Amino acid sequence: MKYVLMFVETEQFARDLETMDEAGREAAYEAVGRWFAEHADKITHHTHLHPVHTATTVRLDGGAEPIVTDGPFVEGKEVVSGFAEVEVADLDEALALARSWPACPVVEIRPAS
């Protein structure tokens, strides 16, 4: 089965990452790199998203013409910062991957087609 693991940063996580010294930040990034390497046989695609302030949103529910705005579609305390598409046997295996994620404190899992 295919699932998408969406890595969600909280405001606190982003602040903690910003205040880390260089060695701490390098260690955090190395842990993420190890996670991807350890699970490479299950990951079919992954990417890190640019910061939320770079988003452009298209609203299709505003009438006849779509409304395009800069920035995210909602103000939030949590933002998706990246994702990985994985091919695993079942939801339990996807949950095991999510539980081992070493970075963002929230991982949302969704089935994919």
Task: List domains and CATH numbers for the chain.
Answer: 2-111 (3.30.70.1060)
Q: Give the whole-angstrom CA distance, residue 27 versus residue 74.
A: 32
pLDDT tens for residues 15-24?
999 999 999 9
Q: Give the whole-angstrom CA distance, residue 12 versus residue 73.
A: 21
Contact 43, 84 (CB under 8 A): yes
Can you list the alpha helix ranges (DSSP code H) found in 20-113? 22-38, 91-99
> What's the confidence (pLDDT) of residue 67?
74
pLDDT tens for residues 59-69?
787 677 877 77
Can you list the alpha helix ranges (DSSP code H) found in the chain? 11-19, 22-38, 91-99
pLDDT range class, residue 77, cuts 50, 70, 90: confident
Phi, psi angle pair for 4, to nearest 5°: -110, 125
Please provide the average confidence, as pLDDT, over all residues in the chain.
91
Q: Is the pLDDT reported for residue 44 higher than 60?
A: yes
